[in-house]
Chains A and B, each alone.
Chain A
Amino acid sequence: MEDYPPVELDRKGNGEAMSNASDSPKGSVLVVGGGIAGVQAALDLADSGFYVHLIEKSSAIGGRMSQLDKTFPTNDCSACILSPKLVECGRHLNINLMTLSEVMALEGEEGAFTATIRQNPRYVDPAKCIACGTCAEKCPKKVPNEFDLGLGKRKAIYLKYPQAVPLKYAIDPDQCIWLRRPGRCGMCQKVCPSGAINFDDQPRQIHIEVGSVILALGFSPFDPSILDFTGYGRLPNVVTAMEFERLLSPSGPCLGHMERPSDHKEPRRIAWLQCVGSRDINRACHGYCSSVCCMYAIKQAVIAREHTQGPDLSTSIFFMDMRTHGKEFETYYDRARAEGVSFHRCRVHSILPAGHDDNLLLRYVGDDGRIKQEEFDLVVLSVGLEMDKQAAELARRLGVELDPNNFVATGAFRPVSTNRPGVCVCGAAAEPKDIPQSVMEASASALEASRLLAPARWSETQKKEYPEERNVWAEPPRIGVFVCSCGINIASVIDVAAVTDYARTLPGVVFAQNNLFTCSQDTINQMAETIKREGLNRVVVASCTPRTHEPLFQETLRDAGINKFLFEMANIRDQDSWVHQGFPDEATQKAKDLVRMAVAKVQQDEALAYNTVPVVKRALVLGAGVAGMTAALSIADQGIPVVLVERKDRLGGHARKFYRTWQGDLVQGYLAGLCQRVEEHPQIDLHLETTVEKVEGSVGQFETHLSDGSKVLHGTAIIAIGAGSHKPREGRWNYLYGRHPEVHVLLELDKRFIKEDPALKEKNQTVFILCAGSRVPEKPYCSRVCCTHAIDQALHLKELNPNMEIFMLYRDIRTYGEKERLYQKARENGIVFIRYDLDNVPKVWEEQGNIHVEVKDPILDRPVRLHPDMLVLATAVRPKIDADVVSRAFKCSMNSDRFFLEAHMKLRPVDFATDGIFMAGLCHYPKPMDETIAQAKAAAARASIILAQDAIPAESITAVVEQRKCVGCGVCTMVCAYNAIQLDENSSLARVDTAMCKGCGACVAGCRSDAVTLKNIGNEQIMAAIEATMETY
C-alpha cells in the first residue's frame, strides 16, 4: 500500500516511503516520550484499538507542559487541563506506561519491530508505594529540584511533581546516601509504612514487539549560560522563561507568590528579552525561530500582572518581530497592550548589574536609534526551544534522520513521517511548536502509525471491566464531599478548610475532605478507596468545572462500584475563586452555597443506565481540498467507506493555486497524485458539485441530506471546507487592486509561477505589502502563512531574475519555526525589508500607468518612494462564505473571525464541541500545507476512534414520561427537535425513544402536567438545588 503515487523528492530527499510490511502486522505501537504529544498519541491509539507501550525517561509523564503555569491564549491552568489526560493515560487499560525507561535499539521493520527497552530502577516498588510522602519528609538529603529548574529543593527520594502520573516516589541514585554508600542512611526504608523501598532494584532490559513507533521526544529549553551578555548564571535575577513559569506556578518553589530569586521579594519591574537562543546565527546559537516565545512572554506578562496585588507592576517585552501568528493570538497581544504591557521593538545588547538591590540595567537601542538604559528588578530570558541532546542521540540510534537544526527531518507532504518507514514523529522534536500543534501532530502520528496496522486492530487490547455496581436505591444517602484546593487556584481565595468543615454539617454527608489536587492520580485512587471504606453512595466534588472534570470523577465512582450518575460537582474555581479574587469572604460563602446545592441535588440523583448507540461505519468528509482529500484517504485506507462531498466541480480546492510549499516542494504534482488516488479509491464515494442541505442525528448515527438528492448515513463527519484569500477590491486596503494589471494578491502571483509566465523575468522592481488589510480592526487576526509565502515568492522572483529589486513592506515578519531560514536567505539575497506601522501605512497610487509606492522608513525616519513594475499584496486568508451554512447544518460554532471553533484551544484542536464532528485545514485557521496535512490526519485519527467501535456510549440522561400524569396533548412531541418523543398509538400518551433522546429537556419545560421529566435533571433535582441555594438567607 502506498500513501501517494511517487512524488518529487522533498528538500530532505524523502519521498513517500514505500512499505513492504508483513500481512499480519502487530496490533501495538511504541510511543517514545510522555509529554503532551506522546500522551495524546497514546490515548488516540489506545482508544482506536491498538495496544500502546508509552516510554518515558523520567519518573513521571507530563513533560514540559506539566511545568507550565498557564497556557496561552486562554490562560487555562496548564496542570488543570493536562491532568485529566495524564490520569486517563495512567489508568488506560491499553496503555502500558513505562517510566524511567529508554529505547536502546529498534530492529525489524514496519509492522513488526522489536524494541529493546532499558528500564532503570526506581528503587521504590510502585505496587506498594501509596505516595504518602513520609519517605521524602524524612529523607535527609536535599538536592536542587530539576522540575523547578533548580529554583527549589527536593529530596533524594522524590515525586516529580504533585500531580505526577504514576504517583509513585522514586529514588535519585546519584543523590541517595544509601545507594552511594550502602548502609549509611536507609531512613526511607525505615519509615515507609508499606515496605516499598527496594535498594536492590536493578535495571531491566525488555524486548517488546510492536507494529510501529512514534517519537514524541519533545524539546529542551535553550541554556543561555553561553550567552555572556545576558548575565545568566552570574546575575541571580536573570531567569529563563521556564524558570519564571515555575516562579508563577502555585506548585512552584514560591507557591505562586512570584518572588525573584535574589531576595524573595516580589518584583515591581519585569523585562522579557525575546529571541534568546533563537533567530541568532551570530552568537552561534540557532537560526530558526522557536515559534512560541512571543506568546509565552505576553502570557507571562499578563499572568504576572494578575499575580501582583497592586496595579503598579511594570512589564516590558523587548522583541524584534512580534510573532502572534496563531488562532486568537493577535487578540491576546492587543489585549495585553491594552492592559498595559509595554512592547519595545529592539534588541537588548547587554544586561548589567544596576549596582544596588540586585537590580538590573538593560541597555538597548531605542526606536530613535539612541542608546537607552532602563532598570528592572527581574529579567526573564525568552529562551528558545532546541532538540534535546539525548533525544537526538536516540533518533540517530534508531536510524532516524535529523535536519540541519537537529530536529527530526520530515517533509511538507508527510509532516509526521520520518525517513524510517513505520517510525513517526510528532511535537516539538520535529520543529519548535506550541501545544495545539503538537497535539494535532500527535493525533496525526497516531493515524500514520496505525495506518498499516488496521487489520490488527483490537487484536492486542483488553476490555475494561468495571466491578458490579452496588444497588444503593434503598440505602439512605451517604454522601462524600471532596473539596479541591487546586494548588492555590481555589485555596488562595476560598477558605477550603471552612468549606470542608461546612460540608460535614450538611444532611446526608458522612465524609468530607480537602485535597490539594483532587484530580491527581493519588487522590483519585484514594477517592475510590474512601467510597468503599466509608460505604459512600453519592459523591460531590467541589473543584473546577464539570465540563472538563466530570468524566474523570464519574469513572472513579464506577471503579468503586457506584453508578456514575450519583455524582455532582460544585464549580468553586472557574465560577468562584477565579471570578471573585478580591472577595475571599463572599467567595467562601458562595463555595459553601454551591456545595450545599450540589449535596441537595445529589441526594435526589438516581442510578442511570449506560446507554449505547451503534456506529455507522462510514465517514462524511466535507470539502475536497488537500485537507479533505487527505482525511478521506486516511480513513478509506483503513477499509472504512468515506463519502467525500465537494461544492465545486473538481478536486483540489485552494491548493490548485499554489506554486510550492515553504520547504520548496512543487504543489501541483503532489496535488494531481492526491486527486488521482481519491478518484480511484474503492472506498471513496465522491460527490462533486454537491452541498450539504440538512444534517440529522448525532455521533454514530448521522443522516445527511445532500443537494444531489442522496442521503448519507454516517458515524462521523470531518469538515474541511477550506478558506479563500481576501481580494481588496475596495476600501482602505485596496492598493490599486483590480485597477492595475500588475497588482496581485499572493496566489495570483503563484498562478503566474505555475504558468511559468516569462514576463516575470523582465520585472526590474517588485514591492510586496504584507498585512494588506490584515491585523487591522476590521480583520484583526494574523493569517499566519502570508509572511512566509511572500518571502518565498520574493526568493523565487530572485531565482528568475537575480537583478530584480525587491522590497518587502511589513509590520512584523512572522516566519515562525524553521521558516525563518527563508527570511535569512531573503536578506542574504538583498531583498529589502521596510517596516511600517498602522499610523504610517504605505501609500500606493498610479500615475500614467505606473505604480507609485511611498512608505516611511523608520530607520531613516523619512519617506521612501518606490516605483515597482509589480505590486504584490499579502491579504488575509478569509473564511468561506458558506461556513455559516455548514456551521448551522452541523450545529458547530465559529469564533468571531468566523473560523470554526474547536472544543478546546489547547488540547482538542481538531474536535468540535459537538461529538463526532472534526475539522481540518484552513476552515479552522490559516496554515501552511504541512500543518494542513497534519491536521487532516489528526481529524481522521479522531474520527477513527469512533469508527473503530461497533457502538459508542449514548446519552443516559434522557427524558422519561410518567404515564399516569400524561394527558397526551402532544406539546412535547412538537417541541422535540429529534422526534424522540411520540404519542403511543394505543395509549395516546407520550413515549420516549431513549436512543434518540439527547436529554435537552425542551419537552420537560413544555409539559404543563409535569408528566415528562429528565433523568437526574428533573424538577425534583432542580427544586432541591433552588431551595438549597436560598437556605442561608
Chain B
Amino acid sequence: MDPAPEKDQKWEPKIIAFLCNWCSYAGADLAGVSRFQYPPNIRIIRVPCSGRVSANMILDALKAGADGILVSGCHPGDCHYISGNLYARRRFALLKNLLEFIGIEPERINFSWISASEGEQFAELVTKITTRIKTVGPTKRLVKKIG
C-alpha cells in the first residue's frame, strides 16, 4: 500500500478528515488495531457526528491549505444520533456540487460512510483518496496565503 509514485517527489498532500466518533473514528481505530496500513497523509479531527460538520468547516480546511478533505460518518440507519448523517448527506450533496461548480477539483472533497467494523475499508478509502488527490497536485484554489 505504498503511496503511488508522484512527479513531484517532495510534495505530499495533506488531508484533513472529519470522522464521527461512533463509526468512522472507531473504524479508523480498527484499521490500526488490525494493522491495515495506509498512507500517512491524513490528519483526523474527531467530531461527534457527521451531522456536526458544516460547510464552514470544510471551507476553513481548504482555506488553511488542506489538499483534500474527507468527511465520514455512520452508514445510513446506523447514526448514533439517529439522523445526523442523513442531514449531513443532504448538506454534503449540495456543498460538494457547489464547490465543484466553482472549480474546486472533485478529487479533493470526499464523503464516505465507514462503520466501526470497517477497519480494512477505512484503510482502503484513505489509500484511494490519497492517490486521487495526488493526481490533482497541491491545492491552490481557496488557499489563503498569509503575509
A1004-B52 in contact (CB<8A): yes
> C-beta contact mask, B1-30 vs A, less than 8 Å → 1, else 0?
010000000001010100001100110111
B40 touches which one: A583, A1014, A1017 (CB < 8 A)? Answer: A583
Output the nearest chain B residue to A1005 by Cβ-Cβ distance: B54
A1026-B45 in contact (CB<8A): yes
A590-B87 in contact (CB<8A): no
Give the segment of A574-582, A683-691, A795-803, A840-848 that binds chain B.
A574-582
Q: Give the residues in chain B near A574, CB-CB below 8 Å.
A: 28-29, 31-33
Is A949 among interface residues, defined by CB-CB distance under 8 A?
no
Q: Give the residues in chain A near B36, CB-CB below 8 Å.
A: 579
B51-A1000 in contact (CB<8A): yes
Give the segment of A522-530, A740-748, A888-896 that binds chain B.
A888-896
Q: When A579-B35, A581-B35, A587-B40 are in contact, do A888 and B77 touch as well, CB less than 8 Å?
A: yes
B84-A1030 in contact (CB<8A): no
A579-B14 in contact (CB<8A): no
Is A988 among interface residues, defined by CB-CB distance under 8 A?
no
A1025-B45 in contact (CB<8A): yes
B16-A975 in contact (CB<8A): no
Q: Give the residues in chain A near B26, CB-CB below 8 Å.
A: 547
Q: Give the residues in chain A near B51, CB-CB below 8 Å.
A: 975, 1000-1002, 1005
A1017-B43 in contact (CB<8A): no
Q: When A1002-B49, A1004-B52 are in contact, do A581 and B44 touch as well, CB less than 8 Å?
A: no
Q: When A1001-B51, A1002-B87, A1022-B57 are in contact, do A1029 and B43 touch as well, CB less than 8 Å?
A: yes
For A579, A594, A1017, which residue has the most chain B Cβ atoms within 10 angstroms? Answer: A579
B16 touches which one: A547, A583, A893, A1029 (CB < 8 A)? Answer: A1029
B49 touches which one: A579, A1000, A1033 (CB < 8 A)? Answer: A1000
Q: Give the residues in chain B near A1002, CB-CB below 8 Å.
A: 49, 51-52, 81, 83-84, 87-88
> C-beta contact mask, A1011-1033 vs B, less than 8 Å → 1, else 0?
00010010100110111011001
B33-A578 in contact (CB<8A): yes
For A575, A590, A1014, which residue has the most chain B Cβ atoms within 10 angstroms? Answer: A575
Is A597 among interface residues, defined by CB-CB distance under 8 A?
yes
A1030-B14 in contact (CB<8A): yes
| B113 CB → nearest A CB, Å | 13
Q: In the bound complex, what is the Cα–Cα distance between A510 and B43 (angstroms)?
A: 25
Please provide the chain A residues from 434 to 488 with a CB less than 8 Å away from any CB of chain B in the complex.
Answer: none
B34-A74 in contact (CB<8A): yes
Is A96 among interface residues, defined by CB-CB distance under 8 A?
no
> C-beta contact mask, A582-618 vs B, less than 8 Å → 1, else 0?
1100110110011001000000000000000000000
Q: Give the residues in chain A near B129, CB-CB below 8 Å.
A: none
Is A730 among interface residues, defined by CB-CB distance under 8 A?
no
Q: Give the residues in chain A near B99, CB-CB below 8 Å.
A: none
> C-beta contact mask, A319-335 vs B, less than 8 Å → 1, else 0?
00000000000000000
By size class, the interface of chain B is: 35 or more
Q: In the bound complex, what is the Cα–Cα distance between A978 and B45 (angstroms)?
A: 25
Q: Give the residues in chain B near A589, CB-CB below 8 Å.
A: 40
Q: Give the residues in chain B near A977, CB-CB below 8 Å.
A: 81-84
Q: Give the residues in chain B near A86, CB-CB below 8 Å.
A: none
Q: In the bound complex, what is the Cα–Cα distance between A1029 and B41 (angstroms)?
A: 11
| A102 CB → nearest B CB, Å | 37
B54-A579 in contact (CB<8A): no
Q: Give the residues in chain B near A882, CB-CB below 8 Å.
A: none
| B116 CB → nearest A CB, Å | 7
Q: In the bound complex, what is the Cα–Cα distance between A587 and B37 (angstroms)?
A: 12
Q: In the bound complex, what is the Cα–Cα distance between A891 and B22 (angstroms)?
A: 11
A891-B91 in contact (CB<8A): no
Q: Give the residues in chain A near B65, CB-CB below 8 Å.
A: 1030, 1033
B84-A573 in contact (CB<8A): no
B16-A75 in contact (CB<8A): no
A895-B47 in contact (CB<8A): no
Q: Give the residues in chain B near A590, CB-CB below 8 Å.
A: 40, 43
| A828 CB → nearest B CB, Å | 43
B87-A581 in contact (CB<8A): no
Please provide the chain A residues from 558 to 585 with a CB less than 8 Å away from any CB of chain B in the complex.
Answer: 571, 573-576, 578-583
Is A983 among interface residues, defined by CB-CB distance under 8 A?
no
Q: In the bound complex, what is the Cα–Cα distance between A1000 and B35 (angstroms)?
A: 29
| B85 CB → nearest A CB, Å | 9
B91-A1005 in contact (CB<8A): yes
Is B141 among interface residues, defined by CB-CB distance under 8 A?
no
Is B61 among interface residues, defined by CB-CB distance under 8 A?
yes
| A117 CB → nearest B CB, Å | 39
| A544 CB → nearest B CB, Å | 8
Q: Give the residues in chain B near A586, CB-CB below 8 Å.
A: 12, 40
A579-B82 in contact (CB<8A): no
Q: Give the residues in chain B near A736, CB-CB below 8 Å.
A: none
Q: In the bound complex, what is the Cα–Cα distance between A1004 and B47 (angstroms)?
A: 12
Q: In the bound complex, what is the Cα–Cα distance between A224 and B31 (angstroms)?
A: 37
> C-beta contact mask, A984-1022 vs B, less than 8 Å → 1, else 0?
000000000000001111101110001000100101001
B37-A545 in contact (CB<8A): no
B66-A1030 in contact (CB<8A): yes
For A580, A896, A998, A1000, which residue has the most chain B Cβ atoms within 10 angstroms? Answer: A1000
Is B80 among interface residues, defined by CB-CB distance under 8 A?
yes
Q: Give the residues in chain A near B25, CB-CB below 8 Å.
A: 545, 547
Is A957 among interface residues, defined by CB-CB distance under 8 A?
yes
Q: In the bound complex, what is the Cα–Cα distance between A580 and B126 (angstroms)?
A: 12
A1001 touches which one: B35, B37, B48 (CB < 8 A)? Answer: B48
A581-B83 in contact (CB<8A): no
Q: Give the residues in chain B near A1033, CB-CB below 8 Å.
A: 14, 65
Q: When A574-B29, A579-B31 are in contact, do A901 and B47 touch as well, CB less than 8 Å?
A: no
B35-A1026 in contact (CB<8A): no
Other A-B contacts than A306-B35, A1002-B88, A1026-B64, 17 sampled, CB-CB below 8 A, are A546-B46, A575-B31, A580-B38, A581-B35, A597-B45, A901-B116, A975-B51, A975-B87, A978-B81, A1001-B48, A1001-B51, A1002-B84, A1004-B54, A1019-B56, A1022-B47, A1029-B45, A1029-B64
The contact sample of 23 A-B pairs, CB cut-off 8 A, is: A76-B33, A545-B25, A547-B25, A547-B26, A575-B28, A579-B32, A580-B37, A581-B37, A594-B44, A891-B78, A893-B115, A957-B48, A975-B87, A977-B84, A1001-B52, A1002-B83, A1002-B84, A1002-B87, A1004-B52, A1010-B56, A1019-B56, A1030-B14, A1030-B65
A residues with CB within 8 A of B: 74-76, 306, 545-547, 571, 573-576, 578-583, 586-587, 589-590, 593-594, 597, 888, 891, 893, 895-896, 901, 913-914, 957, 975, 977-978, 998-1002, 1004-1006, 1010, 1014, 1017, 1019, 1022-1023, 1025-1027, 1029-1030, 1033
Shortest Cβ-Cβ A-B pairs, 6 listed: A1001-B52, A574-B32, A1000-B81, A578-B32, A586-B40, A1002-B51
